[in-house]
Each structure stands twice: as C-alpha cells, then as structure tokens.
Structure 1
Amino acid sequence: MQFTASTVSLTVDDVAASQEFFTAHLGYTVRHAADGFASLTRDDAFDVVLLARGIEVLPPGQRDQRAAGLILAFTVASGLEGHEKRLREAGVEITMPLREEPWGERLFQITDPNGVVVQFVEWTGEG
C-alpha cells in the first residue's frame, strides 16, 4: 500500500470559523469549499477537511459527533518562541503556554473557535 497524501477530517459546528482560523493563523489555503465542507491544504503538512456537524455525507452514527479529544500536532524546525509570539500578537489565545518537557520536547497549544486543539512542537535533542 502506498499513500499519496495524509488528511485529517474534523467534524465541527462552524466550518467557516475553523476555515478562517486555519487560513489566517496556520498558513492553510482552501482547496475546495461548499456549504458545510472545506478542504484545506499546505505543502508541508497534512491536509485538513472540515465537515459541518450533522452533514448528510457522514454515516448516521457519525453526524452528531464533534472533533474532541484530538490534538493536531505540528513539529517546527526552529523558532518556537517566535511562532507563539506571532500568534499571540494576532489575537490567538495561547491555551497552553510554551513549556519544555524533560524528554526534550518544547511545545505550546492554541485552540480554534470550534475547540480543535493545535499543538506546536520543537525538539531540542535533549532528554
């Protein structure tokens, strides 16, 4: 089996709010969009598909679920402090401030308007 792309699909209450958040703050662009649907992409990360909660394209058992308990984690090569500062200055709430774990992981988190947790990680090589 050979994969040609990686996509995470998130069911949210307000597709437009998450679409705006991902394009304005995370560098995604819109590949396709329709009522209750948006497909977002960027060259250096997995694609994101946003589906409106209740949309009929989902099987009945999945229609009322929300993206929950999921963390979208992006590893950056360097400059984690600068990324946190840029997002904070853009008015994005930092929901978990920058910290360093004993195993060499530096990270912080933000949360989109639908409660999707986005984590940024930089590895120090220590730990």
Structure 2
Amino acid sequence: MKINASTLSLTVDDVAASKGFFLDHFGYREQAAAEGFASLSRDDAVDLVLLQRGIEVLPPEQRDQRAAGLILAFTVDTLDAEEKRLRSEGVEITMPLREEPWGERLFQVTDPNGVVVQLVEWTTPGN
C-alpha cells in the first residue's frame, strides 16, 4: 500500500470557529468549504477536515459525536518561540510548558470546540 496523504476528520459543533483557529494560529490553508464542512491543509502536516456535528454525510451512528479524547500533536523545532507566539496572539495555553523525563518538551492549547493541540519538541533525556 502507498499512502498519498493523511487526513484527520474532526466532528465539531462550530466549523467556522475551528477553521479560524487553525487558519489564524497554525498556518493552515482552506482547500474547500461548504455548509458544515471545511477542508484545511499544510504542506508539512496532516490535512484536517472539519465536519459539523449532525451533518447528514456522516453515518447515523457518528453524526452526534464530537472530537474528544484526541490530541492533535505537532512536533516543532522552536517550542519556546511557538509558545510565545501563541500567547502573543491571545491563545490560552491550556497545559503549560513542561518537560518529561523521556525527553519530550510540550505544551497544549485547545481550539474553540475543545480540540486539543499539543506542540512537542524532543530533547535528549536528562538534558
């Protein structure tokens, strides 16, 4: 199997709010949009599809679900700078910057629909 692209589809209550968050703060571009739908992309990250909760294109058993229990993680080279940038843009840091003993430095923000976005930078453990 050859995978040509990866897309994460998120069911949210307010497509416009999540779309704006990812366009404004994470550099995504809108590829397509319609009522209750937006397709976003970046050249260096997973594509995102945002679907309005209850939209009929979803199977009935999925229509009323929300994106939950999911962490959308982006590995970056400049974690401290990204945290500073997001703070300066008014984005609330919902999990403060911390370093794990296995060498992961990270912090989290949350979009208006509760989608958790984690920024990660890997270091040598113990340094």
* TM-score bucket of the superposed structures, by smaller chain: over 0.9
Determine helix, strand or coil for the equivalent of 2:16: helix
CA displacement at 1:126 relative to structure 2: 2.2
CA displacement at 1:79 relative to structure 2: 1.5
Which residue in 2 is equivalent to 1:14? 14
- Overall identity of the aligned pairs, in %: 76
CA displacement at 1:63 relative to structure 2: 0.1
- For 1:64 and 1:88, the matched residues in 2 are separated by 32
Structure-to-structure mapping, 1:43-58, within 5 angstroms: 43-58=43-58
Determine helix, strand or coil for the equivalent of 1:109: strand
Which residue in 2 is equivalent to 1:95? 94
- For 1:3 and 1:33, the matched residues in 2 are separated by 24
The one-letter code of the counterpart of 2:56 is E
Does residue 123 (structure 1) correspond to residue 122 (structure 2)? The answer is yes
- For 2:78 and 2:2, the matched residues in 1 are separated by 33
- For 2:125 and 2:102, the matched residues in 1 are separated by 6
CA displacement at 1:23 relative to structure 2: 0.2
- For 1:26 and 1:97, the matched residues in 2 are separated by 18
- For 1:63 and 1:6, the matched residues in 2 are separated by 22
Which residue in 2 is equivalent to 1:73? 73
Spell out structure 1 runs of 4+ moving beyond 6 A.
none
Determine helix, strand or coil for the equivalent of 1:60: coil
- For 1:100 and 1:24, the matched residues in 2 are separated by 27
The one-letter code of the counterpart of 1:102 is P
Does residue 29 (structure 1) correspond to residue 46 (structure 2)? The answer is no
CA displacement at 1:72 relative to structure 2: 0.1
- For 1:12 and 1:20, the matched residues in 2 are separated by 13
Any stretches of 5+ residues in structure 2 without a counterpart?
Answer: none
The one-letter code of the counterpart of 1:72 is L
What count of residue pairs does the alignment treat as equivalent? 126
